[in-house]
Amino acid sequence: MDALARSLGPVFVAGFALQQLLELIDPWLDPVLGGHKRPIYAGIALVYGLVLVIFTPIRALRPFGMEVGWIDGALTALFISGGTKGINDLLKWLGYQKEQAKARLSPEQIRRV
């Protein structure tokens, strides 16, 4: 699990930084954007994610052994653009998968884990 956390850590940090950036600029942009704030923030978030994917080695699928070029980059950008919610949802899903796998083990196998 350490390798997974090390690999997904930068994605989480990038999403958290995005949330903080939007929180900082919100007071200045809110009066200007009015009712269009949500789609413009979504666009800013996606551009931010794409820039990080293009200029850094951050990838979300790499820890799962699924490096599929531009698809990995696009999904990583989407994860980042979701802020911390996307990565939290992914980690929650991984936890469920772990529990389901544990439930399929015999008591003897569980003692060895």
At residue 92, the pLDDT reads 83
On whether the CB atoms of residues 52 and 58 are closer than 8 A, the answer is yes
Q: Which band of pLDDT confidence, cut at 50, 70 and 90, is reported for residue 52?
A: very high
pLDDT tens for each residue of 53-108:
999 988 888 777 776 778 888 988 988 888 877 767 777 877 887 788 777 776 66
Closest CA to 7 of 63, 56, 50, 61: 63
DSSP letters along 1-64, please? -HHHHHHHHHHHHHHHHHHHHHHHHHHHHHHHHGGGHHHHHHHHHHHHHHHHHHHS---SSGGG
Using alpha carbons, select from 6, 5, 16 the residue that is nearest to residue 82: 16
Percent of the chain surpassing pLDDT 90: 14
Q: If you compute the radius of gyration of the chain from its CA atoms, what whole number of angstroms results?
A: 18
**Is residue 13 classed exposed, middle or buried when 0-12, 13-18 and 19+ CB atoms within 10 A define those classes?**
middle
**pLDDT > 70: percent of the chain:** 88
